Amino acid sequence: MSFFKELREEINVIKERDPAIKSDWEVFLYPSFKAIRKYRKAHRLYKKGHYFLARWISQRTARKTGIEIHPGATIGKGFFIDHGHGVVIGETAIIGDNVTLYQGVTLGGTGKEKGKRHPTLEDNVMISAGAKILGSFTIGENSKVGAGSVVLEEVPPNSTVVGVPGRVVKQDNIKIPRSDLDQVHLPDPIKNDIEFLKQQNEELRALVNKLIDERKDN
């Protein structure tokens, strides 16, 4: 892909997924745009064995944007970071096409692995604000991870994951469109359990009151 075609594609991705951007020129002020452009340059140097220069570019970019992308990471096209301060992407992370990360996301390791230490995100994955994906496993395509979740194990395709530790709460084999960036309306299994317990408690109280009334009548 030519430089200008790649540039145009990344501008379009940001304009498509962030309604606050009103013009092409605004994109050039976007921290994640700067971080991704610098990553592409550093990654090319890293692949050629210029490790120090690649890391110098990535660390300088991290200081300026608050987004730290290791030049060894592999990132596909259509990548988008929204309000990206605090995002960290490790050296052996692999990111597919049309992936979206929000602020505070970490694609890290556990400190125990060697070799492939960081997660793989397949196509069309969305990771919500503050989520931590730790380890060398795969988040399947078209999946969502809820805000603040900590994911420590494999996630099947077409899944929604929430909680600490993260667990799959929805899997319906329906592809998530690239424009679906809703990180709020996700299933909440803890809330559902509490509502179920409250309902059971009300039924038990009603039953106890009924038994008390019957005893009084006798």
- Predicted confidence (pLDDT) per residue in 68-118, tens digit: 999 999 999 989 998 888 999 999 999 999 999 999 999 999 877 788 999
Report the predicted TM-score, pTM, of the whole model to 2 decimal places.
0.74
Q: What pLDDT, on a 0 to 100 scale, did the predictor assign at position 116?
A: 92
pLDDT of res. 104: 93
- Considering the domain architecture, whether residues 78 and 159 belong to the same structural domain is answered as yes
- Give yes or no: residues 126 and 195 share one domain: no
Q: 216 and 115, same structural domain? A: no
C-alpha span between 39 and 54 (Å, rounded): 9
Structural domain boundaries enclosing 140: 3-187
State whether 83 and 128 are in the same domain.
yes
Asked whether residue 157 falls in the same domain as residue 203, the answer is no
Which pLDDT belongs to residue 204? 87
The token pair that represents 64 in the structure block: 């300026």
User: In this predicted structure, what is the pLDDT of residue 177?
Assistant: 53
Do 174 and 210 belong to one domain?
no
Give the pLDDT of residue 190. Answer: 66
| Claim to verify: residue 8 and residue 80 sit in the same structural domain | yes
Beta strands in 27-119 (DSSP E): 68-69, 74-75, 80-82, 88-89, 94-95, 100-102, 106-108
Contact between residue 126 and residue 108 where contact means Cβ atoms under 8 Å apart: no
Residues of the chain with pLDDT under 70: 1, 172-192, 218
